[in-house]
Structure 1
Amino acid sequence: MARQAIYTKSQDVAAYELLFRDEHGNFVMGLKDDDATLAVLVNSYASFSKDTKAQMPFFLKVTDKVLLDDELPDFPRHLFVLELLPHTRVTQALIDRLIELAGQGYRLALSGFDPSDTKLHPLLKVVHVLKLDIQLIGLSRIPALVQKLKPFNLELLADKVETQDQFRQCLEMGFALYMGYFLSKPDLVRGKKLPGNKILLLQVLKELQNKHATAESVEQIALKDPELTYKILRVVNSAAVNLRREVNSLSHAIALLGMDQIRRWVMLFLAKSDNGKPTELTRNMLIRGRMCELLAEMLEYPEPMECFIVGLLSQMDVMMDMEMDVLLNEVPLQHSVKDALTKREGQAGLVLSEVEVYERGEFEQLKKLLPSQFYEVAYRHSLKWAEQVLEALQ
């Protein structure tokens, strides 16, 4: 199981879509099966956001069979959007059932809408959210379609938005919600340079990878940036570290934290956006880093921390709006890290590829370095860990 973010116009997360398969890795066509009941999904994924201040709703794919059998468990209406699939068999009985569910407070969505296929058109009067696959329909055909859909007062969701340019075009067309990998590719700016504070953080990270590094050698680099010095001192006194001790120098603070903890915090500072990028991007960088590290530990790789670094930095190009090759030319990272990031080579590169496939919900393409349940455990843990870190970074 995995999840994919659904964004608003301002690129804030509005909801998540659940991506799952059965125990054999196949699409779940009927959710009543003992192995994949709706109740299990609800109970499992409600825990994803139960500790956050603002709970995010989930888009949950359901079949007409499940809906007509009237076996939906009682769960919070505001936390789940019931998503009808394009192969839904539309009958008067189904429409009556959907009207009943809407009256009970459920929000309904329809995915895979094809304007040339009239069989789903009766559902437009019932559902609240309509997903339009912009790759399937074609951007050139969408403006006219949007005009035809206006009388239905639907919340339009642009699906398969791959680039920032496509996002901007959909924004101009009036879409309210967006899905796709448009945040996974950089919006390039010619001549853009990595900000000095990020370069310094990478220099500190490079020093921390040196087995002969000391608190004093790290201090010499960190002291060049007053903000970084302040951040490290603040971390020492944070609730996350729980060390209430007076420090007399930056090297003393580093020694109190320990080199491993300093390494982690430097990478977290790297992941935090300073240029208006959405929080979801930082969250995804944290999830990737932690999941790469956990899989590496389970696989008994000798350098799980290197896998954490690779996972975390794998979207630095998006964060900084720079091509990865250009970005890495500016920073002093180990060749194994650079090869993993640019070519997906080595153990770290292999693990990163697996995590990228997993987070997209393309489970059938996994190389299965470990049994499926290990991936899910690592993913669930990484989600929770990322939320905790984001709170600490605030």
Structure 2
Amino acid sequence: MSAALKSLKESEQLQVLLARQPIFTKNQDVVAFELLFRTQTGGFDATITDDRATLSVIVNTYASICREGEIRNLPCYLKLTDKVLLDSTLPELPKDTFALELLGHTEVTPALIAKLQELAKRGYRLVLADYDPRDTKFEPLLNIVHVLKLDILKLGLQALPAIIARLKPYNLELLADKVENQDQFRQCLEMGFSLYQGYFLSKPVPVRGRKIGGNKVVLLQLLAELQNPETTAAALEQIAVNDAALTYKILRVVNSAAFSLRREIESLSHAITLLGLDQIRRWVTLFLASGEEGKPDELTRNMLVRGRMCELLAELMGREQPINYFIVGLLSQLDVLLDIEMAELMEQVPLRQDIKDALLSRAGELGQVLSDVEVYERGEFDRLQRFVDPAYYEVAYRHSIAWGQQVMQAMSEG
């Protein structure tokens, strides 16, 4: 049993499934996370606020992010019903960790308004979701909440300027929700939204005929050589010497806390001897998928988490060569990173056919696991194929977030 698998099996299991979705500024920096959660049986669970173990995991893992080499905590939007908010047993939640999000189907009563005013006075940041400008019940809340979510798909992009004009006197921070592509992001940016949520970072903006940049050539040569079962450490090092900066970065990462090695690795051949070809394949793939100018850190962060979670699920399932699941997960957004259609990209990247099939059509065993991880990321927990016990999905996701942070930290140091 690998150390990672042992750690997974020994980790505390929560009673809820948790995922997080980033909330961005206009510069595409992450400033908060939306928490997505359900019980393992499929229902929403208000008791998340009562469970100390769950709160501890949220504070220590789900709220944290690596930025410029430092681990920082960001607020999490926590969806609460009016019933939960008015419950006298609601625990004292950390104000720096949680922004309280009111759902649109909330029943607005004098008691709720008084409760929200009290929470705002105590320093809680309040968010209102599912706003409908035609429903007058929301009017009293606009003077209390700090952030207002506008579902751009439901309200329609054309209707938004008039809605925003009506909301101006309230001095609210407006969040564009369900932003699905870069074109919608640009339109919302022009309208003056300050926050953005949705999957617009997950969609490529293909540039016809675009090729992988010259700075990736050495990585592609290494990746091609790593597909050769007869390759040697000397052959790989001979390719790597053409890019000293890349070799240095790989050595920085493998010497980082992500590996917890007892002695420092001084050369690529030394790394291969100690770690094996699979680990080198991992980091060559990693560097192929990072460092594109103009792309936000969150894209690389998500690629890392997705790759690692695919690998951990494969280990839990007893699948052979979990490293291939890592490669599939990590490269599943390479088209977004490079703005090249995946089909065109697969013609340029030397990968095994089963890996290409998984990336192009989510086919085969590799593709099935990738699809399940994508479903989990979106918080669509009822669509999970449940290859393993549902609790292990959350544990694998949690470990992947922590591992991704360690790697981002090591990369920034390099």
User: If the length of structure 2 is used for normalisation, what is the TM-score?
Assistant: 0.88
- Counterparts of 2:256 and 2:35 in 1: how far apart (Å)? 34
One-letter amino acid of the structure 2 residue matched with residue 224 of structure 1: N
- Judged with a 3 Å threshold, the aligned counterparts in structure 2 of structure 1 residues 299 and 70 are, in CA distance, closer, same or farther, namely same
- Judged with a 3 Å threshold, the aligned counterparts in structure 2 of structure 1 residues 58 and 233 are, in CA distance, closer, same or farther, namely closer
- Aligned residues of 1:271 and 1:286 also touching (Cα < 8 A): no
**Which structure has the higher relative contact order (CA within 8 Å, separation 6+)?**
2
- Counterparts of 2:178 and 2:96 in 1: how far apart (Å)? 25
Q: State the secondary structure of the residue aligned to 1:190.
A: coil
- Counterparts of 1:343 and 1:196 in 2: how far apart (Å)? 28
- Aligned residues of 1:232 and 1:253 also touching (Cα < 8 A): no
Q: 1:299 aligns with which of 310, 317, 336?
A: 317
Q: 1:143 aligns with which of 150, 157, 161?
A: 161
- Counterparts of 1:326 and 1:237 in 2: how far apart (Å)? 35
Provide the residue aligned with 1:95 in structure 2. Answer: 113
**Do residues 244 (structure 1) and 264 (structure 2) align?**
yes
Q: 1:200 aligns with which of 218, 223, 227?
A: 218
One-letter amino acid of the structure 1 residue matched with residue 22 of structure 2: A
- Alignment deviations for residues 149-199 of structure 1 (CA, whole Å, 9 cap, x no partner): 000110000000000010011011011110000000012223321112324
- Aligned residues of 2:212 and 2:338 also touching (Cα < 8 A): yes
Provide the residue aligned with 1:359 in structure 2. Answer: 377
CA RMSD, Structure 1 to Structure 2 (Å):
1.9
Provide the residue aligned with 1:120 in structure 2. Answer: 138
- Aligned residues of 2:207 and 2:340 also touching (Cα < 8 A): yes
Provide the residue aligned with 1:16 in structure 2. Answer: 33
One-letter amino acid of the structure 1 residue matched with residue 172 of structure 2: L
Q: State the secondary structure of the residue aligned to 1:2.
A: strand
Q: 2:295 aligns with which of 277, 286, 297?
A: 277
Q: State the secondary structure of the residue aligned to 1:272.
A: coil
- Counterparts of 1:151 and 1:298 in 2: how far apart (Å)? 54
Structure 1 residue 253, shift from structure 2 partner: 5.2
**Which moves more between the two structures, 182-191 or 221-230?**
221-230
Gaps of at least 5 residues in structure 2 are 1-17
- Judged with a 3 Å threshold, the aligned counterparts in structure 2 of structure 1 residues 246 and 42 are, in CA distance, closer, same or farther, namely closer
- Alignment deviations for residues 246-287 of structure 1 (CA, whole Å, 9 cap, x no partner): 55xx54554355323322221221232231211111110000
- Counterparts of 2:176 and 2:64 in 1: how far apart (Å)? 27
- Counterparts of 2:406 and 2:252 in 1: how far apart (Å)? 17
- Counterparts of 2:83 and 2:243 in 1: how far apart (Å)? 61
One-letter amino acid of the structure 1 residue matched with residue 34 of structure 2: E
- Counterparts of 1:233 and 1:124 in 2: how far apart (Å)? 53
**Do residues 2 (structure 1) and 19 (structure 2) align?**
yes
Q: 1:339 aligns with which of 357, 362, 367?
A: 357
**Which moves more between the two structures, 366-375 or 140-149?**
366-375
Provide the residue aligned with 1:42 in structure 2. Answer: 55
- Counterparts of 2:150 and 2:22 in 1: how far apart (Å)? 16
Q: 1:81 aligns with which of 94, 99, 113?
A: 99
- Alignment deviations for residues 11-31 of structure 1 (CA, whole Å, 9 cap, x no partner): 010100110112311233xx1
Q: 1:129 aligns with which of 147, 167, 172?
A: 147
One-letter amino acid of the structure 1 residue matched with residue 299 of structure 2: L
- Aligned residues of 2:310 and 2:329 also touching (Cα < 8 A): yes
Provide the residue aligned with 1:162 in structure 2. Answer: 180
Provide the residue aligned with 2:7 in structure 1. Answer: none
- Aligned residues of 2:252 and 2:410 also touching (Cα < 8 A): no
- Aligned residues of 2:303 and 2:332 also touching (Cα < 8 A): yes
- Counterparts of 1:38 and 1:61 in 2: how far apart (Å)? 14
- Counterparts of 1:362 and 1:116 in 2: how far apart (Å)? 29
- Judged with a 3 Å threshold, the aligned counterparts in structure 2 of structure 1 residues 280 and 134 are, in CA distance, closer, same or farther, namely same
Q: State the secondary structure of the residue aligned to 1:47.
A: helix
- Counterparts of 2:161 and 2:266 in 1: how far apart (Å)? 62
**Which moves more between the two structures, 46-55 or 156-165?**
46-55
- Counterparts of 2:288 and 2:301 in 1: how far apart (Å)? 12
**Do residues 316 (structure 1) and 329 (structure 2) align?**
no
**Do residues 378 (structure 1) and 391 (structure 2) align?**
no
Provide the residue aligned with 2:239 in structure 1. Answer: 221
Provide the residue aligned with 1:187 in structure 2. Answer: 205
One-letter amino acid of the structure 1 residue matched with residue 390 of structure 2: S
Q: State the secondary structure of the residue aligned to 1:175.
A: coil
User: If the length of structure 1 is used for normalisation, what is the TM-score?
Assistant: 0.93
- Alignment deviations for residues 60-119 of structure 1 (CA, whole Å, 9 cap, x no partner): 001111111233322321211000001100011111110000000000000011112222
- Counterparts of 1:60 and 1:115 in 2: how far apart (Å)? 23
Gaps of at least 5 residues in structure 1 are none
- Judged with a 3 Å threshold, the aligned counterparts in structure 2 of structure 1 residues 245 and 262 are, in CA distance, closer, same or farther, namely closer
- Counterparts of 1:252 and 1:369 in 2: how far apart (Å)? 37
Structure 1 residue 299, shift from structure 2 partner: 1.0
- Aligned residues of 1:131 and 1:158 also touching (Cα < 8 A): yes
**Which moves more between the two structures, 115-124 or 163-172?**
115-124
